[in-house]
Structure 1
Amino acid sequence: MKLDLLAIGVHPDDVELGCSGTIINEIRKGKKVGIVDLTQGELGTRGTIETRYAEAAEASRIMGIHARENLKMRDGFFANDEKHQLELIRIIRKYQPEIVLANALEDRHPDHGRAGKLIADACFLAGLIKIETRDEEGRIQDRWRPKYVLHYIQDRLQEPDLLVDISDVFEQRMKAIEAYSTQFYNPDMETEGPATYISTPDFRESVVARARMLGKRIGVRYAEGFTTQKTLGISSLDALIQNET
C-alpha cells in the first residue's frame, strides 16, 4: 500500500501526542496515512506490552488510519546504526510516503532524539540506489526518498518551522491520545501502577495549553508544530493567500 503520509514514533503514543491532529486532517482530505511504532514501549512504568497494543489499536480506529505496524526495536536500547537503519529503509520503501512525520531531534526523553535522527537518516538512505533491501516476499525494493521529513514537537518546546491548524479535529485528537488509558490521566486506572510524569491531570492540561499557544501564533484555536531540516518552499505567493482562506 502506497501512503501519502507516514508517521513514525519510537513509542506507541508518541505519534498521537505529537501529530495526531495533522494526521486526522489529512485523512479527512482523503489521504492515505499509516503509523509505524519503533518499539513496544516495554519500559513504560504503567501498563504492559499487551495493553499498549490494544491502546494503539483503539487510537488507530479513532484516527481512521490505513496501516499500523510495530518494528519491535528495543525500547531504550535501539541504536542509530546500520541494522536499525535498514529496518526503517525497508518500511519507507514499502509504503513510499510523500511526507514522513518523525520524533523530535532533541527532547527530554533520550529515545526521542535518537529516533528522530534515525528516521531522518533512514529517509535519506532509502533514496540511494546502491543500498539493496528486499520486501517480505524476497523481491528487491525500489529506492524511495520522501519529499519532506517533519519532526513533531514533543515535551520540550522548540521553535516551529511549520504550524498546522487542528482546530476542527481537536476533540478527535484528544480522544486518540486518551485511548492510552494506562499512560495518561484516567481516574479509573489509578491502580494500574505508580504515578508518572505523564499520568497526572497537569500533563493533560499542558497538552491542551501547548496546542492553544501554538494556535494563537497563527490566529486559530489549536495547532501542532513541526521543525524541518529542509527549507520549505512554495511555487507561488498565491499559496499564502489560499492558506489564509
Structure 2
Amino acid sequence: MKVDILAIGAHPDDVELGCGGTLAKLISEGKTVAIVDLTEGELGTRGTNVTRAEEAGNASKILGISDRTNLKMKDGFLLNTEEYQMQIVKMIRKYQPEIVLANAVDDRHPDHAKAAKLVSDACFLSGLVKIETHLENENQEAWRPKHIFHYIQWKHITPDFVVDISDFMPKKIEACLAFKTQFYDPNSDEPMTPIASKDFLESLTYRAQDLGRLSGVAFAEGFTTEKLIAFKNFDGIIL
C-alpha cells in the first residue's frame, strides 16, 4: 500500500498536534497519507490505551487518513534498538512514502527526541538492499524516503520552513480534540496535566498564528529538515 506521506509519532496524538493541518491540506490536494504510532500512549495520565486507540481512529477519519498502524512499542522507554528499527523499516517498506514526517528532534517528552532519531535511522536502513524484511509472509523491497521532516511540538524550535495551513486550522483543532481524554475539558474529573490545560489548547492556535505572522499567512506549521532542500523553481512560494 504505497502512500505519498508517512507521518510517524511516538504517541497517538503527536501527529495531529505537530502536523495535523499540513496533513489535512495535503489530503485535500489528493495526496495519500498513512500514520504509524509507535506506542499506545499507555503511560498517559488521562485515559487508557483503549480510549487512545478509539480517539486515534476518530482523528484519522476527520483528517482522511488512508491507513493507521500502532506498533505497540513501550511508552516512556523508547530505545534506538535493532528490534525497534526493524519494526519501522517494515512500515516504511510497506507504505513506500516519498516523505516521512517525524517527531521533533528536541522536546519536553523524552520519547519525542528518541523517536526522531529512531525514525531517521530506520529510514536510512530501509534503503539497504542487504537488509531483508518480510511482512505477512511476503518479501519486502528496499525503500528509502526522499525526505524526512520533523514537526515542532512543545518546545519553540526555529523551523527550516513552514507550511501555510490557513484554510485547515479548524480541521487540525477538530482532529486534536478527537483525543477528548487528553485535552482541556472543564467537566473532566481526571488529573490535570500540562497538555490538558486551557492554555495548551489555546497555544495550538496562537503558535500557528505566530508562525503565520512571520511568514505572511494566517496560520502555519513549522518543520525542520535533515538535509538541504533544493527547489526546482519558485512556484508555490508565498511572497
- Whether TM exceeds 0.5 here: the answer is yes
In the alignment, structure 1 residue 217 sits paired with structure 2 residue 214: yes
Aligned 1:39-54 pairs, distance under 5 A: 39-54=39-54
Counterpart for residue 150 of structure 1: 149
* 1:200 match: 197
Q: Which amino acid aligns with 2:226?
A: Q
CA drift at 1:214: 0.5
C-alpha displacement of 1:244: 2.6
Instruction: Give the alignment of 1:68-79 within 5 angstroms.
Output: 68-79=68-79
Cα deviation, 1:165-213, whole Å, max 9, x if unaligned, reads: 000011011000011111000223x11x210001110111111111001
- Considering only aligned residues, what root-mean-square deviation do their CA atoms show, in Å? 1.0
Secondary structure of 1:168's partner?
Answer: coil
Query: Aligned partner of 1:46: which letter?
Result: R
* Map of 2:24 onto structure 1: 24
Partner of 1:33: 33
> What is the distance in 1 between the residues matched to 2:141 and 2:174?
37
Structure 1 CA distance for aligned equivalents of residues 219 and 74 of structure 2: 34
- Count of aligned pairs: 239
Deviation by residue 1:137-164 (Cα, 9 ceiling, x = unmatched)? x222100000000000010011101100
For the pair 1:243 / 2:237, whether they are aligned, the reply is: yes
- Alpha-carbon distance in 2 for matches of 1:88, 1:163: 26
SS of residue matched to 1:151: strand
Give me the TM-score of the superposition, normalised by structure 1: 0.96
2:173 is matched with 174
Instruction: Tell me the TM-score normalized by structure 2.
Output: 0.98
**Any residues of structure 2 matched to 1:105-116 within 5 Å, and which?**
105-116=105-116
- Residue number in structure 2 paired with 1:228: 225
Query: Helix, strand or coil: the match of 1:210?
Result: helix
Q: Distance in 1 between matches of 2:107 and 2:238?
A: 31
Cα separation, 2, equivalents of 1:106 and 1:78: 14
Which runs of 5 or more structure 2 residues have no equivalent in the other structure?
none
Superposed, which structure 2 residues align to 1:184-199 within 5 Å? 184-188=183-187, 190-191=188-189, 193-199=190-196
Shift of 1:11: 0.3
Task: Give the 4+ runs in structure 1 shifted more than 2 A.
Answer: 242-245
Q: What SS is found at the alignment partner of 2:138?
A: coil
Q: Distance in 1 between matches of 2:104 and 2:52?
A: 21
Q: Which deviations, in whole Å up to 9, do the C-alpha atoms of 1:90-148 show, x marking residues without a partner?
A: 00000000000000111111000000000011001100111111111x22210000000
Between the aligned partners of 1:230 and 1:110, the Cα distance in structure 2 is: 23
How is 1:93-172 mapped onto 2 (pairs within 5 angstroms)?
93-136=93-136, 138-172=137-171
SS in 2 for 1:142: coil
Unaligned 5+ segments in structure 1 are none
| CA–CA distance in structure 2, aligned partners of residues 96 and 186 of structure 1 | 38
